[in-house]
Amino acid sequence: MEIILAKSAGFCFGVKRAVDLAYSKAGQGEIYTYGPIIHNKEVTGDLDKKGVHVIDDLDDIKEGEIIIRSHGVPPEVYGAIEDRGLKYTDCTCPFVKKIHNIVHENHNKGKSIIIIGNKDHPEIIGINGWCDNSALIINSVEEAKSAVLSKDKEYALVVQTTFQTDIFDEIIALLMQKHGNIEVFRTICSATGDRQSEAVEIAKNADVMIVLGDKSSSNTRKLYDICKKYCENVYLCERICDLELQNFKKNGTIGITAGASTPSVIIKEAVKAMSEMENKSFEEMLDGSLVTLRTGQIVKGKVIRVSETGEVAVDLGYKSDGIIARSEFSEDINEDPAESVKPGDEIEVFVIRVNDGEGNVQLSKKRVDADKNYVAIEEAAENGTTIMAKVVEQVKGGLIANANGVRVFVPSSQISNRYVEDLSVFIGQELEFDILEFDKSKRRIVVGRKALAQKEIDAKKAEVFASIKAGDKINGKVSRIVDFGAFVDLGGVDGLIHISEMSWGRVRKVSDVLSVGDDVVVTVLEVNPEKGKISLSLKDLNADPWKNAGEKYAIGTVVTGKVVRMVSFGAFVELEEGVDGLVHISQIAYKHVEKPEDELEIGQEIQAKVTELDLENKKISLSIKETLERPARPAKEAPAEEAPAVEEAPAVEEEAPAVEEAPAVEEAPVEEEAPAVEEAAEEAPAEEEAPEEE
């Protein structure tokens, strides 16, 4: 008896991923699968015993975690899960998810959708939901013949991933005769095509074909139908024990294949049963076939040891061990193999070379990791979703990041929303990225986080603006120094301390008070979300020297102060820290003063009288001359020898009042305009205030 076992028999990638996840979740609380995780009663029954239950209606549960099976679901199911506040893990097969995207995109473009497949199959139900359940569904050549297509419509056509390839080609030919404007997407899974092709070749050479799998499984039934075309004796069974093997001819050829929902344990069980018939261990033959290695193969093995240099030895069940070089372990050059795996761990590896010249099998782990995650990244690119990646090295023009074993490029202009001078600060960080470019043919992936960084900043801004108000005291760190003040990071948002708010006294330079990196406690003066501005103060508002200024500097009070600044119109005098008064140039002395510097010096202590007090605008007008004794006016002497002048005395006396009022004519206009000048003086420093741009 000769047994031919299909190499592609058993779980496909999508089913295996979903089943593995279900088993990993078992025992972790209330776990449910939305519909059977797999069309195999052996597996679903075992999972149910382990606490992973099947539900068909979300109303049946109130809490727990949902696993969405590989067949996928309509969009409304996601919404219903989220509305109920349930956690879920999406195990939709990447190939099925791709069909969802094709259907959704073309439906939004106004095209009519045609789906080739069984309308009652959960995969087709899920796909149809992505075009609002409006698709024309065709499952056979007969249905294609009777289908009516509108000449006025454009069509997009997809096919169930497990559909029979030859029947699909017949249906396409018929539909194209009816309507020439159909865009066809060949979405039959490559694994399905390989399994069906292999079944054809085995069936052609077998006396008996055994198709293992659940009878409710669509792809298993299709395998059965295919084999029936080429072999007279075909048996569909869920387990080998369902057959009476003793009736088989021992000198014949038996072919075995299995659907995508058939666990490997059932396949091994079938081979073992046949080995007992022949009194020959076909199980050993199967095991031997599993360890026949070839370049490019992906196999499982157990870690034997990890050397000090990071080389990993793997037992493959082959005549010699496999070796993973440090450079082939991970795309992350900083990952230590000794920390990631230990002896006894089972890992998947890629066979680079069966014999490396020293009798060892040269392996790669990072290539397996990359292949596994490449599909997920492609799906993210199609869906417009983000990926996580760890920055591992700096290169010309940007950075290289590792997205679960897949190398992606980050341009320097896309790492942040602002210019970054030193890109090396990102090395070692795991960050979220948008996919900017995905070129499958060149395996080139470009990612960035410029838009994400801006979103993060906007979110932080909104949080900060919502949590603070005027009068709050908050902690911050000085992030930037400018001429007019200092910017303080308040946790994602910068606020400004204007130089005038750094002290009650006069501050000449910001750097005299603060440095970048200083931790400060500031008082919020104003919050303006519309302009995105927050005004801050370093001053102790309770120590405002102007609080008692009305008593200390009442009009008429003589005060002592120090000259701190000269301007063309007068001198500013510091009365105490934070309180200055202005001595207008006309109030420095009784005589005419050209420049304040002619009479006063910086640092000079003087006495002056308060002439005006404006508490609202924090202005004090001072007069030095009013503290001084007014000089006596010298008497006029008449000419001694000019008699005519004496005779004209009456005329002189008539003009005398005008002569005596002359001093008032010189001084009065200045004194009357003094307040206006003082106001100008006080307004002048406003030119130093912060520009509106900040």
Answer yes or no: is pLDDT of 149 > 70: yes
| Confidence band for 594, pLDDT divided at 50, 70 and 90 | very high
Q: In the predicted model, what is the mean pLDDT of residues 276-283?
A: 49
Output 293 or 557, whichever has higher pLDDT.
557
Answer yes or no: is pLDDT of 592 > 70: yes
Q: In the predicted model, what is the mean pLDDT of residues 631-642?
A: 59
For residue 675, give the H/E element and its range.
helix 662-683
Answer yes or no: is pLDDT of 378 > 60: yes
123 is catalytic: yes
Percent of the chain with pLDDT over 70: 83
At residue 273, the pLDDT reads 65
pLDDT tens per residue, range 106-148: 999 999 999 999 999 999 999 999 999 999 999 999 999 999 9
Percent of the chain with pLDDT over 90: 35
Output 280 or 512, whichever has higher pLDDT.
512
| Confidence band for 602, pLDDT divided at 50, 70 and 90 | very high
Fold topology of 371-453? OB fold (Dihydrolipoamide Acetyltransferase, E2P) (2.40.50)
Fold topology of 298-364? OB fold (Dihydrolipoamide Acetyltransferase, E2P) (2.40.50)
Instruction: Give the residue extent of every domain in the chain.
Output: 95-188, 298-364, 371-453, 468-543, 545-630
The rounded distance, in Å, linking the Cα atoms of 423 and 393 is 10
The rounded distance, in Å, linking the Cα atoms of 324 and 633 is 110
CATH architecture of 95-188: 3-Layer(aba) Sandwich (3.40)
The rounded distance, in Å, linking the Cα atoms of 385 and 482 is 40
Are 86 and 63 in contact, with CB atoms under 8 Å apart? yes
pTM for the model stands at 0.38
pLDDT tens per residue, range 159-188: 998 888 889 999 999 999 888 789 999 998
Q: CATH: 3.30.70.380, 2.40.50.140, 3.40.50.300, 1.10.3720.10. Which one for 468-543?
A: 2.40.50.140
Residue 636: partners with Cβ closer than 8 Å, 6 or more residues away = none
At residue 96, the pLDDT reads 92
Output 276 or 89, whichever has higher pLDDT.
89
Name which of 42-46, 304-308, 573-577, 636-640 the model is least confident about. Answer: 636-640
At residue 656, the pLDDT reads 38
At residue 571, the pLDDT reads 94
**Fold match between domain 371-453 and domain 468-543:** yes
Q: What single string gives the DSSP state of each residue in 144-184?
A: HHH----TT--EEEEE-TT--HHHHHHHHHHHHHH-S-EEE
Domain 545-630 - what CATH class? Answer: mainly beta
Task: Report the chain's mean pLDDT, rounded to a whole number.
Answer: 82
Question: Is residue 263 classed exposed, middle or buried when 0-12, 13-18 and 19+ CB atoms within 10 A define those classes?
Answer: buried
Q: In the predicted model, what is the mean pLDDT of residues 618-629?
A: 90
pLDDT tens per residue, range 431-480: 999 999 998 777 789 999 998 888 888 888 888 888 888 888 899 999 99
Q: In the predicted model, what is the mean pLDDT of residues 590-603?
A: 92
At residue 309, the pLDDT reads 87
Answer yes or no: is pLDDT of 542 > 80: no
Q: In the predicted model, what is the mean pLDDT of residues 662-685?
A: 38
Other CB atoms within 10 Å distance of the CB of residue 344 = 9
Are 588 and 596 in contact, with CB atoms under 8 Å apart? yes
Residue of 30, 42, 65, 123 marked active site: 123
At residue 359, the pLDDT reads 65
| Confidence band for 558, pLDDT divided at 50, 70 and 90 | very high
Answer yes or no: is pLDDT of 676 > 90: no
Task: Please give the radius of gyration of the chain, using alpha carbons only, rounded to the nearest integer.
Answer: 45
**Residue 667 token pair:** 């001084």
